Amino acid sequence: MKAIIAAGGKGTRLYPLTYSNNKHLIPIANKPLVFYPLESIVEVGIKEIGIVYRNNLDEIKGVLGNGSKWGVKLTYIQQKEPLGLAHVIKISKEFINGDRFVYHLGDNIFVNGIKKPFDIFNSGKINALVTVIHHKENSRMGVPYFDRKGNLIEYVEKPKNPPHDFAIPGLYFFDSSVFKCFEGKSAIKPSERGEYEISAPYQWLIDHQYVVKTVEYEGIWKDPGKFNDLVETNMVLLSFKKDFLNKGKIDKKSHISGDIEIGKTSRIKGSTLRGPLSIDEDVLIKNSYIGPYTSIGKNCTLINCHIENSVLMDGVRIENVEGRIDASLIGRNSQITSVNERPVSHSFMLGDHTKVIL
């Protein structure tokens, strides 16, 4: 079996951060977002994985390489135009080459892995399998419709009045029959927004009497496509993280509690750290309180500050800031500093769509 990962979206819901950062490479718990779907696929034993990208090959290949880090082979497939999730399947036909495959969205995280749906698809004569979850806002997602016997009969994108609370996350399974939906007089067509929706191949297979099954995903699913979701996902992943290692230097004036990961050459001076925390390499933390559920990237400097429940990307500098910084996402090489002047004044340099709360 093979796998494809869609990693070419613009990430408009995370502007302005994604103006200069590929959404799939944004760190969560100090690991690029795309690592999580890749590692879920590796865990089930798949060795050949296609990475579908847009115009960011050098950037994403620079992070993922050829796959040898995970003991797999990565093939890069360009989606030249943003024509939808099903279009990703269409352009991957040569790579799939008649095999069965898993299709995983690069910005979805299945925290507990994908072994159960993988095993179900791999064990029977199923042409396609779709995972479903309970979701209170399923009207903004794809929704499965069932007959009285529980068989899938329709896959509807963003229905106004869903008949239940099931929704479809970004994990799909197909055999090579799916490529027939792009051929002949009955070929699927783009939707009103000009994209090949992922619901269309499933509906085509259902309508043409192929065996399409559903399986409920029983673990935790996260789609960190928005600011609040990303911060929350960081908290969840730190809660589940197990391999906390301390390779840094902590002086005797510092107080440490809980699960804390500290990268090599990082220094902690006169500070209090409360886990779970992930602190990358070459970080200086001095006279500060760093509270739970915070991830700090490489080369950050934090002096006289209080931070909790936040994600700091590489190169951030925060110094002499009064009050607590909480539930924040701070982009690469950003600086937040304070000066001891009265009356208090603020000076900003902000990009488009920036949000500031004082």
Please determine, for residue 345, whether its predicted confidence score (pLDDT) is greater than 80. Answer: no
Which amino acid is present at 352?
D
The residues, any chain, with a CB within 8 Å of residue 85's CB and separated by 6 or more, are: 6, 105, 195, 196, 197, 198
- Mean pLDDT calculated for residue range 280-302: 97
CATH class of 2-238: alpha beta
Would you list the domain boundaries of the chain?
2-238, 245-337
Please determine, for residue 352, whether its predicted confidence score (pLDDT) is greater than 60. Answer: no
Superfamily for the 245-337 domain: Hexapeptide repeat proteins (2.160.10.10)
Query: What confidence tier does 237 reach under pLDDT thresholds 50, 70, 90?
Result: very high
Please determine, for residue 88, whether its predicted confidence score (pLDDT) is greater than 90. Answer: yes
Which amino acid is present at 202?
Y
Q: Across the strands, what pairs with 184?
A: none
Dihedrals φ, ψ of 279, to 5°? -120, 120
Each residue's pLDDT tens digit, 107-164 = 999 999 999 999 999 987 899 999 999 999 899 889 999 999 989 999 999 999 999 9
Whole-number Å distance between alpha carbons of 89 and 52: 10
Identify whether 37 is preceded by a cis peptide bond (ω within 30 of 0).
Answer: no
- Mean pLDDT calculated for residue range 1-9: 91
Nearest CA to 89 out of 39, 138, 146, 50 is that of 50
Residue labelled with tokens 């009050």:
323
Each residue's pLDDT tens digit, 26-73 = 899 999 999 999 999 999 999 999 999 988 899 899 999 999 999 999
Q: What is the mean pLDDT of the chain?
A: 90
CA distances (Å), 326 to each of 22, 70, 296, in order? 24, 34, 13
Tokens of 341: 């002047």
Whole-number Å distance between alpha carbons of 3 and 46: 7
Query: What confidence tier does 224 reach under pLDDT thresholds 50, 70, 90?
Result: confident
